């Protein structure tokens, strides 16, 4: 019997790896596919209204970080801070994702979104020297910077982790409230 259960466990682990790789690949591929279309079809700073002026496409090559932070830093600092550090974090994230077998499923999914989006933007920065951003939302009271699908993936991953963290705190606090 132990051999059978080892085979089953190996199949489960292989399935887990396959699903994680699929999620990572889908995040990265959607991001890169959309950016390729934008680079080929939209001129720099061209404005294309999708939903009146609430949702527009506008191509911006961002050499900085989120909202162009660090755009004016000297090249060597940008290279270290915007390429080197993210590369180290992403490599550690991949290591963590694939070596920690008992992570909650929601955390594994969140890490796939974070890493997939991070790799998409890092790939742009290394290959093109900038990250292609192209979506903008303006709802008068609320307006975003220009962003891309990698940014959406990263925000989804952060949201999942935040939700899981808050849910975990509520579950931990519940027994204390009943006792006190």
In this predicted model, what pLDDT tens digit does every residue of 26-38 receive, in sequence order? Answer: 999 999 999 999 9
Which pTM was predicted?
0.84
How far does the chain reach from its first CA to its final CA, in angstroms?
A: 48
**Tell me, what's the pLDDT at 12?**
85
Catalytic residue among 71, 124, 133, 177: 133
Q: Does the annotation count 151 as an active-site position? A: yes
Residue 75 pLDDT > 90, yes or no? no
Residue 67 backbone class (left: φ over 0; alpha: ψ -120 to 50; beta: rest): left
Catalytic residue among 31, 53, 151, 177: 151
**Tell me, what's the pLDDT at 157?**
97
The residue that leads in pLDDT, 123 or 64, is 123
Tell me, what DSSP letter sits at residue 44? B
State both tokens at 124: 């742009």
**Tell me, what's the pLDDT at 6?**
84
Considering the chain, what is the average pLDDT of its residues?
88
């Amino acid at each position: 019997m132990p051999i059978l259960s080892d085979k089953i466990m190996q199949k489960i682990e292989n399935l887990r790896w396959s699903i994680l790789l699929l999620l990572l690949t889908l995040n990265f591929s959607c991001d890169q596919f959309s950016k390729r279309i934008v680079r080929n079809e939209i001129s720099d700073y061209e404005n294309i209204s999708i939903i009146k002026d609430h949702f527009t496409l506008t191509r911006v090559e961002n050499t900085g970080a989120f909202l162009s932070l660090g755009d004016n830093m000297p090249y060597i600092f940008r290279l270290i801070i915007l390429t080197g550090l993210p590369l180290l974090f992403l490599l550690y994230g991949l290591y963590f994702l694939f070596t920690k077998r008992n992570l909650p499923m929601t955390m594994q999914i969140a890490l796939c979104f974070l890493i997939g989006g991070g790799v998409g933007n890092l790939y742009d920065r290394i290959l093109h020297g900038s990250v292609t951003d192209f979506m903008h939302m303006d709802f008068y009271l609320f307006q975003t910077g220009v962003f891309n699908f990698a940014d959406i993936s990263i925000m989804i991953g952060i949201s999942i982790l935040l939700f899981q963290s808050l849910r975990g705190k509520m579950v931990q606090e519940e027994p204390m409230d009943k006792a006190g």
